[in-house]
Amino acid sequence: GKEWTNVSELVEEIAGSEVLIRGRVHTNRPVSSKLGFVILRQSGFTVQCVVTESKERNVSVNMVKFLKQLSGESFVDVIGVVVLPKEPLTGTTQQVEIQVRKVYCVNSALQKLPLNVEDAARSEADIQAGKPGANQDTRLNNRVIDLRTPANQAIFRIQCHVQIAFREFLLSKGFLEIHTPKLIAGSSEGGAAVFRLEYKGQPACLAQSPQLHKQMAICGDLERVFEVGAVYRAEDSFTHRHLCEFIGLDVEMAIHKHYSEVMDIVGELFPFIFTKLEERCSKELEAIRKQYPFQPLKFLPKTLTIPFAEGIQMLKEAGVEADPLGDLNTEVERKLGQLVLEKYNTEFYILHHYPSAVRPFYTMPCADDSNYSNSFDVFIRGEEIISGAQRVHDPELLKEQAVRFGIDVDTIKTYIDSFRYGAPPHGGFGVGLERVVMLFCGLNNIRKTSLFPRDPLRLAP
């Protein structure tokens, strides 16, 4: 019964003690029949193990030989003594070495792997300098190996911490966590990007969002709700920011007077999440930065809110024409992001009071001008991460808008009926988890922040 020591715990203070560690063979470098070096890796931490033939320590040439044939990524248990290296080490995270006494192979990996972890972990700068890298498809095809890189270890810890902070904040504001059905009768957002299937003989869809049921939860007097769950979109084009399945962070709440009540929640929630990430994930952010350099996100403690018309005006002054009653395309959104950064010194902001024509059917039009709506989008580094709005709670107007948007109202009858039984004014928003992590960390592709991404061509692994 010897205690296990984590590789991260192997530090100078415990030099001289004997430890038992389990890890993967990160690299294996035989030097002679009597000497070899193995770097052992455990969840992103690495330590150099030295095997020297020695009668006194009972290490035979056979053990050196045994180590030599261990394949990379195999699991081994090592018993050895922590020693200080003769010279400072550069190739490992730990600054001590293990003088090996015994080694056991727990599970061996194939001699030839489809992806090398060191190649997958290479930074763009190192690849430019001639070191071998691995392309994105090879990495995603072999995601199980790819996930072992320090940056990927960090990305999924950060993803987890975004959800923790999201929950923490909303629970503290009296929100209730719910789960809505993912098998539903029709499209929840309108539009064609929906996966259709058969549900016991009835036509059905995979939910494009929890939109309808989160609103129905409000009609059921749950008052303030949120959900973390899978969202399905049958996207048919490739971009760096669209997936066919992603994790939606959704919020819905009854409001008293104005949709600014919803924007106030967004405006407080995200600086809270960003601050928690900086506090709780500094090591992870550093690990990501090593492979994918990025500047920390600039955000204000009190989130900036800009009316859509002001955004159009800022663009116009910069020589970019954008339709005041149309949508902003990706390129124009980026440009506006730049202008906002220059003027207000923030890369996180809310743009609100959008034209009605470019918003989903359930969006509340402005009381004084129905060309505009009580809606907003939120941007990080010039890219959309959130859409939100006040919703129509009058069933007749809702039905009329659905028809106008070409939606088959029969498939959403129970949703429209929900507003016939008395419904409070309400609003909410939806966030893509993978986009938040991608943009907070300045990454260039959403596939990097999805554990096993689903895009139009990728259903495996």
Q: Could you give the residue numbers annotated as active site?
A: 233, 235, 241-242, 384, 387, 435
Q: Which amino acid is at 72?
A: G
352 binds ligand AMO (CB under 6 A): no
Closest to ligand AMO by CB, 230 vs 403, is 230
Q: Which does 94 bind (CB under 5 to 8 A by kind): ligand ATP, ligand AMO, none?
A: none
Find, among 273, 213, 267, 205, the residue nearest to 233 by Cα. Answer: 205
Closest to ligand AMO by CB, 21 vs 446, is 446
CB 175 within 8 A of CB 227: no
Residues 211-270 that bind ligand ATP (CB under 6 A): 237, 239, 242
Closest to ligand AMO by CB, 36 vs 337, is 337
Binding segment for ligand AMO among 58-66, 179-187, 240-248, 258-266 (CB under 6 A)? Answer: 240-248
CB 73 within 8 A of CB 24: yes
Question: CB atoms < 10 A from the CB of 369, how many?
Answer: 10
Question: CB atoms < 10 A from the CB of 148, how many?
Answer: 19
Distances from the Cα of 447 to the Cα of 141, 149, 244, 252, 285, angstroms: 12, 15, 11, 28, 18
CA 185, distance to chain mean position in Å, is 29
The residue within the footprint of ligand ATP, chosen from 327, 339, 400, 409 (CB under 6 A), is 327
The radius of gyration of the chain from alpha carbons, rounded to an integer in Å, stands at 27
**Site size for ligand ATP (CB under 6 A):** 8
3-state secondary structure of 283: helix
The residue within the footprint of ligand ATP, chosen from 227, 245, 284, 384 (CB under 6 A), is 384
What is the per-residue binding string for ligand AMO in 414-433, x denoting contact by CB under 6 A?
--------------xxxxx-
Distances from the Cα of 266 to the Cα of 273, 385, 393, angstroms: 10, 11, 21
Q: Which does 327 bind (CB under 5 to 8 A by kind): ligand ATP, ligand AMO, none?
A: ligand ATP
The span from the CA of 173 to the CA of 171, in Å, is 5
Find, among 150, 172, 404, the residue nearest to 290 by Cα. Answer: 150
What is the per-residue binding string for ligand ATP in 45-84, x denoting contact by CB under 6 A?
----------------------------------------
Closest to ligand AMO by CB, 77 vs 223, is 223
The span from the CA of 99 to the CA of 184, in Å, is 60
The residue within the footprint of ligand AMO, chosen from 149, 211, 374, 390 (CB under 6 A), is 211
Binding segment for ligand ATP among 9-17, 20-28, 118-126, 327-335 (CB under 6 A)? Answer: 327-335
Closest to ligand AMO by CB, 41 vs 435, is 435
Neighbouring-strand partners of residue 386: 378, 431
374 binds ligand AMO (CB under 6 A): no
Q: Which does 211 bind (CB under 5 to 8 A by kind): ligand AMO, ligand ATP, none?
A: ligand AMO
**DSSP string over 218-273:** HHTT--EEEEEEEEE----S--SS--SEEEEEEEEEE-SS-THHHHHHHHHHHHHH
326 binds ligand ATP (CB under 6 A): no
347 binds ligand AMO (CB under 6 A): no
Min CB(12)–ligand ATP separation in Å? 49
Helix (H) or strand (E) holding 155: helix 150-172
**Site size for ligand AMO (CB under 6 A):** 24
Closest to ligand AMO by CB, 76 vs 380, is 380
Min CB(233)–ligand ATP separation in Å? 8
End-to-end CA distance of the chain: 38
Q: Which amino acid is at 390?
A: Q
Binding site for ligand AMO (CB under 6 A): 189, 209, 211, 233, 235, 242-243, 246, 248, 250, 384-389, 428-432, 434-435, 446
